[in-house]
Chains A and B, each alone.
Chain A
Amino acid sequence: MTSELRGAVAGTRNRDIAEYALRLGDDALILCQRLCAWVTNAPTIEEDLALSNIALDLLGHARTLLSLSGRSDGTNRSDDDLAYRRTERQFRNALLPELPGGDFAVTIARQLAYTHYTSLLYAELAASADEGLASFAARAAKDAEYHRLHASQWTVRLGLGTEESRRRMQAGLEHVWPYAAELFEADDLTARLDTDGTAVAPARLQAAWGREVAGVLTEAELMVPAPSWQATGGRSGLHTEAFAPLLAEFQSVFRQYPGGVW
């Protein structure tokens, strides 16, 4: 291989890593914003603390991943640049995190889908050939496991609770399930990064995810939803109508005081 060609290959790989980190970072960032809305609204003060602490972990994950993305694509954009200076179409999060909050059961159903996915993903990603992704994932896997436990316990509690909590939990699952499949979508990027051991093709995690989630739902005496359709588009920047208002709120301070520091 000529040095020019080697340089081009390295350039492609770095851009791939940047795009991949952006996807995972945007998932965490947008879900963080959604969970923050529960502060003072959760059923108990302990739950306010739980959801805001989970949001704080997700913010840490997002900052690490977005910084990694900005370093890898050669633009040297910071996590703040990427969080606050992008438009709707430039975000690469799956649609699941951006769904409007719904009731508490919808939030728990989403947490169940997302945390089981990230637990499996980060555990595998800890062995990534890319040192930045590997060191991030080794730490984040520990948080994700705790978040998964939280979501699973609530799912069981609501499933085995009252008629009303059970009805709402089942409805929450039916509502978010069409969006869960997008987390496992494969494309050229994930195929390239999976081949050289940098990332995990998400489709490889889907069977284990299905088994784990089904185990929790069985314990909760709830039914595994069988959605008749699947959401798609987030990874290419096509978002739901709920996304623009979310971003407007998230970026409002930065847009009013560009470059402000304190």
Chain B
Amino acid sequence: MSAALRSDLDRIRARVGAVPDPELPVITLADLGVLRSVRQDADGVVEVVVTPTYLGCPALPVIEADLRTVLAECGHPDGRVTWALSPAWTTEWISEEGRRKLAEHGIVPPGPVGAPLPVRLGLGRPCPHCGSVATRPLGPFGPTGCQTVLVCTACQESFPHMKAV
């Protein structure tokens, strides 16, 4: 790989990584961990490989269109966006920076994968308003498919929590 190509791919990688998630614009695609690779394919075309968070996520076509725009802006109007299903995305791929941004935005970041869902009073995810763990699920799904809504029994506020998958 020539130095010019390497620096071109690095530049594209930085640009596509900085694309905001359409549904949760506080975090970027790099924060979410959905960006798999930016490479030159065997046919010479520059390809961005991304993994969908949820197969039914309505943001996927928007992400694809955004990535095409960035590719065109970087001088690759014929660049390719490929969705790779395998390995399946997991919330473990969300970066520390991504978790911090979610928390700052009032969305409780996902817990470890495989941990039981909060079902009992006093064992829930900490309330972002008062810190109490006396929280319980209000609805299994929230404003987006990847979130669930909890309510704090201490301060009575409800708050979104990103599901661990």
Contact = CB atoms under 8 A, between A and B. Distances in A.
A50 B143 CA distance: 10
A135 B86 contact: yes
B88 interface: yes
B101 to A, nearest CB: 23
A150 B139 CA distance: 10
Contacts, number: 70
B88 A139 contact: yes
Determine which residue in A45, A46, A47, A53 has the highest number of CB atoms from chain B within 10 A of its CB, and name it: A53
B56 A142 contact: no
Determine which residue in A45, A56, A61, A64 has the highest number of CB atoms from chain B within 10 A of its CB, and name it: A56
Contacts of A138: 85-88
Interface string B126-165: 0000000000001111100100010000000000000101
Contacts of A44: 139
Interface in B31-80: 52, 54-58
B85 A139 contact: yes
Determine which residue in A45, A59, A139, A153 has the highest number of CB atoms from chain B within 10 A of its CB, and name it: A139
A149 interface: yes
A57 B55 contact: yes
Q: Say which size band chain A's interface belongs to.
A: 20 to 34
Contacts of A61: 55-56
A143 B89 CA distance: 12
Nearest to B164: A142
Nearest to B88: A139
B117 interface: yes
A146 B85 CA distance: 19
Contacts of B86: 131, 134-135, 138
A109 to B, nearest CB: 18
B139 A46 contact: yes
Determine which residue in B86, B141, B149, B165 has the highest number of CB atoms from chain A within 10 A of its CB, and name it: B141
Contact of B85 (A53, A135, A149, A150): A135
A24 interface: no
Q: Say which size band chain B's interface belongs to.
A: 20 to 34
B149 A56 contact: no
Interface string A44-79: 111101100110111111011000000000000000
Contacts of B149: 46
A143 B88 contact: no
A146 B140 contact: yes
Contacts of B84: 135
Given A61-B56, A149-B140, 13 more contacts: A44-B139, A46-B139, A46-B149, A59-B56, A63-B55, A131-B86, A135-B84, A136-B85, A140-B55, A142-B88, A143-B165, A146-B165, A153-B140
Interface of B: 52, 54-58, 84-89, 117, 138-142, 145, 149, 163, 165
30 contacts: A44-B139, A46-B138, A46-B139, A46-B141, A49-B139, A49-B141, A53-B145, A56-B145, A57-B55, A57-B145, A58-B56, A60-B52, A60-B55, A60-B57, A61-B55, A63-B55, A63-B56, A134-B86, A135-B84, A135-B85, A135-B86, A135-B88, A136-B55, A138-B86, A138-B88, A139-B85, A140-B55, A142-B165, A146-B140, A153-B140
The 4 A-B pairs of least Cβ separation, nearest first, read A60-B56, A46-B139, A60-B55, A135-B86
